[in-house]
Structure 1
């Protein structure tokens, strides 16, 4: 795995993603407070992992990223931000800090924060719908996003997380929870690129296996950091999962067991990439480089 590949890719695309979000959200509402609240959370920083994954798929299959591709790819960041705003609410995790800054409801009040999230969700679909991509691609990508974020995806995972607090979940149930809550949107991010690049189904299936293993690794790694990092390092409160009796991989498997599970997830992602490379006759070095997030 070549971390330099990822560093160069991020250096190229992350500034463009941030600039696009900034420009497109300057007049996203005729309500100035709503605009400010939406921009506050979207522009607060972050890795931009999900749009980067979509763009990495396009790069892997030699698809030139047009303005239409960029709009349809960056849209996922609006959906991701909506989920963070609502996840931080007092009724959910009641977090006071996100990316090193006060959470949206602390800054703007709970009512405006809820509405800012409510506005970002449909705006995500608007950007895909009016991107200018062919109608069949728009339809397939819209369906994929709705499935990833709806009652069988991200929202279902959030419900399982809320209802599971204080209960001891077995490993399969914990994996299902995070497959929906965290993994579904990462699955979609890869899927969006595959849809835009019109990749053949057999290769799509293998790269979605990579996406699912990546999503699992992402959650395990996040759980480990919650135990081993400081709030200053993460930009948010740490040790909250244990304090609130949330189900986590270190809580269930111990820290050493969680690290073993992380290694297994990374290996599964690498295996899927090897198979996808053989099936497509394309190099998967850039996608493999994304795994250095967990190993370097």
Structure 2
């Protein structure tokens, strides 16, 4: 395995004219390189072999696309707290592996049944359904392998905190549970009528939990105090909610070409969204309110939190 403890071990904090766009692209490039180094055919210590087809399909699922917002949040939160970003880059990349696994499974016929992801065939289309299931399984377990590896975080207490946090955010009471609630909201398991609060809970689990943990992971690596961690969690939860609402707006308004995947499917499937509950204008107003919550949550850090403030604005203003 090629080591990334040289040029890709940390992310330098340059300050160009458009700092946010530069930082987002810089972290995305670092994450891409970091993940590419993990997803190689060479067998690692403790492994018997890496099946070629599985590794090719994993690379298809992970590499070559995406904003890498989740690792960006981890890296930028740690950077704001004055920590070296090497540990945050590894933690954020582990979160990205879980995110990619969730997309592979979400795209499958039994779930959302999508043929395109980031402008290319979904894994079950490019390979087959059985391979896609195993790709998701392998990406999930690799994520926890990364978090448990002392190479990236020597402090065992921090490693344990990261593993526990990602398990909770991605599992029964987080992303996976939220996905099940989302399927139920389509009426798959019987008639259902969701309130605004029901919809918020569903979205906080399915999408928001992983985004919020991305911020928390940066706080853990960055050595945040309990009060700082609570403030950053408040930021993360508001950001996760705003992200999902903005995503629902894009599903209604953006083209499939711009999004790199089918749009309008949520409405056709009867999925629960705040756009349905509040209307487009109401949903946009709620996004604006949540950006205000994000900005207030990181106000104690002053200018050091500028990138996180801009991340909240980017989340609701993005076009893809």
TM-score (norm 2): 0.87
Q: 1:219-241 deviations in whole A, cap 9, x for unaligned?
A: 00000000011000111101001
Q: 1:90 to 1:129 in 2, by over 3 A?
A: same
The match for 1:13 is: 27
The CA deviation at 1:263 is 1.2
> 1:199 aligns to what SS in structure 2?
coil
The CA deviation at 1:282 is 6.8
The match for 2:8 is: none
- Relative contact order (alpha carbons < 8 A, sep ≥ 6): 1 or 2 greater? 1
The CA deviation at 1:108 is 0.8
The CA deviation at 1:69 is 4.0
> 1:114 aligns to what SS in structure 2?
helix
Instruction: Give me the whole-angstrom Cα distance separating, in 1, the residues matched to 2:125 and 2:17.
Output: 37
Contact kept? 2:105, 2:136, Cα under 8 Å: yes
The CA deviation at 1:131 is 4.1
> Is 1:82 equivalent to 2:96 in the alignment?
no
TM-score (norm 1): 0.94
The match for 1:135 is: 156
> 2:262 aligns to what SS in structure 1?
coil
> Is 1:157 equivalent to 2:178 in the alignment?
yes
Moved more, 264-273 or 46-55: 264-273
Between Structure 1 and Structure 2, how many residues are aligned?
Answer: 290
Instruction: Give me the whole-angstrom Cα distance separating, in 2, the residues matched to 1:17 and 1:177.
Output: 29
The CA deviation at 1:124 is 0.2
Contact kept? 2:234, 2:297, Cα under 8 Å: yes
The CA deviation at 1:12 is 2.3
Identify the match of residue 117 of structure 2 among 88, 98, 109. Answer: 98
> 2:304 aligns to what SS in structure 1?
coil
Give the structure with the larger helix fraction: 1
> 2:298 aligns to what SS in structure 1?
helix
Identify the match of residue 266 of structure 1 among 291, 294, 306. Answer: 291
Instruction: Give me the whole-angstrom Cα distance separating, in 1, the residues matched to 2:150 and 2:33.
Output: 17
Indicate the RMSD between aligned Cα atoms, in angstroms.
Answer: 1.7
The match for 2:12 is: none
The CA deviation at 1:70 is 2.7
> Is 1:253 equivalent to 2:278 in the alignment?
yes
Contact kept? 1:60, 1:282, Cα under 8 Å: no
How do residues 151-190 of structure 1 correspond to structure 2 at under 5 angstroms?
151-166=172-187, 167-190=192-215
How do residues 188-227 of structure 1 correspond to structure 2 at under 5 angstroms?
188-227=213-252
Flag structure 2 segments of 5+ consecutive residues without an equivalent. Answer: 1-15, 44-48
